[in-house]
Amino acid sequence: MKKIFLRAAALAVAFALMFTLFGCAGEQAEIRDDELFVPDLEGAQKSKTVTVDLNTEHQTIKGFGGINYPVWIDDLTQEQRETAFLNGDGQLGFTILRIHVDPNRDNWAKEVETAKYAQEQGALIFASPWNPPADMTEKFNHNGNANAQRLRHDKYAEYAQHLNDFVTFMRDNGIELYAISIQNEPDFADEWTWWSTEEIMDFILNYSDEIDCRIMSPEAFQYRKDFYNAIINDEDALSKVDVFGTHFYGTQKKDMEYPLFEEKCEGKELWMTEVYVPNSSSDADTWPEAIEVAVNMHDGLVTGNIQAYVWWYIRRFYGPMKEDGSISKRGYMMAHYSKFVRPGYIRVDADESPAYGVSVSAYKGDGKTVIVAINHSFADYAQEFNISDAGSIGYIEAYTTDALRNLERTGNIAFDGDGFTYVLPRESVTTFVISEAQE
């Protein structure tokens, strides 16, 4: 009788709010459905119940995004900027933009238009350098490569001024950088500038104070902890670095854990600032290959406790936005997080692997609980979710992407008390947005 009453109550709430706008993510709003959706569980395998514990909190999310690099490829068009940084239907809802510190300051103006637009939509902007100006560099022998390049040791002060000049240039053009990195991939610099750990420490300790901006650590190619350990284990160096940035190329899930950061870096931020997954050769619509993007994001967020996930090129044939400006399957994988897990949301505890090939994470913010469920298996799963210590559930909707659908919405999902069951289709990703009942 209790279940019948609760289902009836849920149906009554849905009818009462059928014409109410439901802001599930930023600017996006949906009309609530008047028909209760009850999933058909026939033929679906049963998995372990996922319990979401809203009282056990982890990292605060800063956002999701990608890089715009107008020195190498064409700038985003106005329409493409809207697709990237707005959050309505057919838009990605990105909240972070990475830009490039060109060694030639004559190219700096090329970064302004897209950065200014993204900032106006509330996005955080950060910058990464690949090379200092040529007159600050020298050739040296790096593991047998006599043409390797490094920053001259007598030019550290000038390089700090160069980075600060970029910060000032962007500020003068109405763009306040959230952070600036010291170096892109100092450990994989075949075509740019190498740095040793000792050189990084010297620059941070003795020159980084000259830069009027949050300092981001050098961004290692493959999450090499030796770059970061040196900073973390030096109290003075750690005090000067605000954001630790890394790349995930070839980084396995087990290597995403970073206990030393968790132990010593209270108040610091941990960002994943560049990757493409699983490759840069396949078309971004290749399915189910594109699911690897969602899996990589999940692993970084849950195992690595990262606070930001930033793709390589925003617009590329293998990226979240294709060359024609349309959102790709890989883009929809990112959108399952970026549209719904908004800046300031907090990741909370959830049973991560209720069945083989299924990965689950959960977040809270704005009076909502958001669950992202990835089913990378060949089976349909009847997945039960329980929201512990939640207020009264008022409304549940789901957004699913699979081979034939892109963020297809199902509204007014039946719930029972503080839980619900939904079929996770094989080779799919589903985001649930759970709204508290209105008083």
Structure tokens at 25: 């993510």
Burial class (CB in 10 A: 0-12, 13-18, 19+), 197: middle
* Closest among 385, 314, 340 to 81, alpha carbons compared: 314
Report the chain's terminal Cα–Cα distance, integer Å.
Answer: 24
Which pair of tokens denotes residue 55? 């009282």
Of 269, 274, 384, 427, the active-site residue reads 274
Catalytic residue selected from 30, 111, 185, 384: 185
What angle, 0 to 180 degrees and rounded to 10, lies between the N-to-C axes of helices 197-206 and 156-172? Answer: 60
d(CA 304, CA 246): 11
Taking each helix axis as running N to C, give the angle between helix 329-338 and helix 291-302, from 0 to 180 degrees, rounded to the nearest 10.
Answer: 30
The partner residues of 382 in beta bridges, in order of sequence, read 46, 423
Helix 225-232 to helix 197-206 angle, to the nearest 10 degrees?
40
H or E segment at 258? none
The question of whether 274 is a catalytic residue gets the answer: yes
Please report how many Cα atoms fall inside a 13 Å half-sphere around the Cα of residue 431, on the Cβ side: 26
190, with CB counted inside 10 A (0-12, 13-18, 19+), is exposed
Q: Does residue 375 contact residue 425 with C-beta atoms inside 8 Å?
A: yes
Amino acid at 421: T
Quickly count: other Cβ atoms within 10 Å of residue 43's Cβ: 9
Three-state DSSP at 50 gives strand
What DSSP assignment string belongs to 186-244? TTS-TTSEE--HHHHHHHHHHTGGGSSSPEEPPBBTB--HHHHHHHHT-HHHHHH--EE
Which residues are annotated as catalytic?
Answer: 185, 274
